[in-house]
Structure 1
Amino acid sequence: MADPLVRFEGVRKSYGAGPAAVQSLDLDIARGELLTLLGPSGSGKTTTLMMLAGFELPSAGRILLEGRDIARLPPHRRGVGVVFQSYALFPHMSVAENVAFPLSVRGVAKAAQADRVRRALAMVRLESYGERRPAQLSGGQQQRVALARALVFEPPIVLLDEPLGALDKALREEMQLEIRHLHQRLGVTMMYVTHDQAEALTLSDRIAVFEGGRIRQCADPRRLYDRPADAFVAGFVGENNLLPGRIEARDAESCEVRLACGPVVRAEAVDAGGPGEGCLVAIRPERVAVAGVTAAELGEGALPATVLEAIFLGDHVRLRLGLGDGGEVVAKRPAGLGALPEPGGAAAIAWPEGAAFAFRDAGARV
């Protein structure tokens, strides 16, 4: 990235003994980008955000904002907007006073404050709520006020740390789209932290997947979902069948894998070793085709299976299928595509070429 707004160079954060919370982080954030840091609890994503905000100091490395090293600057001198899960609104202040607070501490004139507060509240569709107190607002409205407060002083970047975690599912999904549309409309740069994969896929221009203090993959949502770089990303982002096996043969791009449950399948060798090495074969449930016929009837490459469970979920049916000697595969089939065998009935499964990926797995047993 030639001219990033933010650059992390070899950043590390340690808390005494034990593994570092963030290890040798190199990451660029482009101007106008919405970058999401995604990962399980303790993976280093929030620590990374806090170092950019100035609430944590890195143990090593540089953090550049518009080309200037800010790693040792206090938070109030960085000019970064921050939105927390708790919103951190002042209960004794009105909505307008909360939004105006960053302007007050920066010495902006009262007349200019009023105009900028009005525009900030209009951005989040709360123009008529300026005189209310936070306690008089819903959770979603409080979140919008917090976002307006982070935007009102026009920071170069806004950091959002699990900002929707306290909302119910319906409101959370509504606010995801609200933030996405606001970002697209304003073009403001955002760093967003979440552990929710669906939220990350909905919001992001790019997603950096964290695990163990490191980035395992950083890519746009479609590439991350369709072409995971390793078994961790495949298992963490969305749902995947991860079938243990051992490589029997391979070329530069693909390999033949004997699954632990018996059958031999072909998969793309994304992050796989050579013949004889253990691996995991990943197939998304929605890529698995299921038919209530024998494998021979479904065609070359089809595998015999037994329906173990079928759950109707409105727009699709979720199927759990037994495969070979103790193996199981989950498939998702759109509702209304015809009858399926009942649990206990015979079936066959297949998937298109390029839908299965092989990854290293030193712990596989065949």
Structure 2
Amino acid sequence: MFLPISWILGTSEWTPFDANLTDCFLRGLVGACGISVLCNLMRVYHFIQTCSDSETESKQRSPSPVSPPRLNWRAALQFWYLTFVLSLVGSRVASLLVLEFSLRAVSSWVSAGLDANGRGPTLLLIQCQFSLGCCFTCTLVFLHQGAPHSSLNLFLDAALSWALASVSCSLLSHAARLYPLHSTERYCGKCITLLTSGHTILASLQRAVILVFALATVASFATVYEHFLSQKDALKFWTPLTLCYTMLVVYIQEDQNRQIGAEGLFHTAVLRQGALLVLMLTVGDWSDVLQVLITFLGEAACLLPSQDLLQDMLKEEDDTSLSEQTSSHKTKKLTKEIVR
């Protein structure tokens, strides 16, 4: 079926269908479930923070992170669309995306250590959605390579991922409908747990994402070495490309720190994917180039529905800076009174 396409493109394989359609679909399903769990738990965290702020300030505020339409057909459409897109992205391109985002995360961590602004980890969680899905797909390819029952293993992985995604979606729906009431009445086990330990959700997500990227980085290095660096004199060609790409990632990170809002996110995504496209035009084949173009659609499908998370992050940052300014003003005023 894909032989004419491979012949036209001049490639021996039409990756990602290097195994079979079922395996590709199951890997894409696992990746989409991982993205769904991340987004749902982040929305639960921001919803809890919004309710906590409204109780502190003693006034009503509409919780933007959760709304019934977002929990129904829009979320389902995004989920199956990401499953389809991740099924089309092969392990070669997915591995490069993982390594690129890992490099950018390290650059962000270094820049945050030099000039901490408090929004780096949360912003990376919003940006890493599609790369997180690629982490699962390339890791599954690496782990199941040569396995005698890889399809059965992938089916079990997909079933477990589906169960976790269903639990996170149910938790988000429950919190959106009943948390404001149950957190005050205190007779619901889920809401009491969210009330007591919900503030740790973001930190737990950060640790889990770091672990996933660490495992995926190992698998990505093995995949990149097998497909790109195992040839003779490949290191002589890849070394200057890697240095140039690293400098570009650092520039993108510095440029992103100067930009705030959705435009900065999309600008960064376009620069990242454009640089990867140029790299694939240099060292890849036509299937790699097409898959990089497909990743543009995946990044857009993750970033466009995440505007509520970005707005909440910016709002929390503004509230924090405002409280710090107020506290500093009170401290200065108190110091003047003591001096007098």
**Which has the higher Rg, Structure 1 or Structure 2?**
1
**Larger relative contact order (Cα-Cα within 8 Å, sequence gap ≥ 6):** 2
More helix by share: 2
More strand by share: 1
**TM-score for the superposition, normalised by structure 2:** 0.21
